[in-house]
Amino acid sequence: RVLFVCTGNRARSQMAEGFLRHLAGRRFEVCSAGTEPKGLAGETVQVMREIGIDVSHQRSLHVDEFAGQEFDYVITVCDSARQACPAFPGAGQRLHWDVEDPADAEVSGLSRIEAFRAAREELRRRVEEFASQPD
């Protein structure tokens, strides 16, 4: 079981969930959540649809909805979530991937949609690497 966590659960964790579900199929049970969920961003749906992955059915969830559950991996995708993410029971691993928030596009000098695409590609690379690890 894998849980991806970011602050808003609008983009990065949603993309990671979509990628792992698409790449690894039934090998993983995958979820995503936010420490302060804000709803799925339209740009997230758009940039994932561009590469043939439909995340429009995913919902923005609060990390507290998973309280008390065991995960093999809890992966935070932003520094804020890393600090605020609660502990989960069991011997699962915590990983951290600091991926720039595409909603902060002006900081990187990219248009908003380009920033979402850049985050998507970084997450694709990280999830592909993660999914290729032997069990």
Instruction: State the catalytic residue, choosing from 2, 3, 5, 6.
Output: 6
pLDDT at 90: 73
Instruction: State the catalytic residue, choosing from 85, 99, 115, 127.
Output: 85
Secondary structure (3-state) at 31: strand
| Catalytic residue flag (residue 6) | yes
pLDDT at 26: 83
How far is residue 29's CA from residue 36's CA, in Å, rounded to a whole number?
22
Tell me the pTM.
Answer: 0.92
Instruction: State the catalytic residue, choosing from 11, 41, 75, 78.
Output: 78
| Catalytic residue flag (residue 78) | yes
Question: Tens of pLDDT along 56-90?
Answer: 999 999 999 998 899 999 999 987 776 766 677 67
Question: Tens of pLDDT along 25-62?
Answer: 788 999 999 999 999 999 999 999 999 999 999 999 99
Q: How many Cα neighbours within 13 Å face the side chain of 39?
A: 2
Question: Tens of pLDDT along 79-124?
Answer: 777 676 667 767 689 899 989 889 887 667 788 899 999 999 999 9
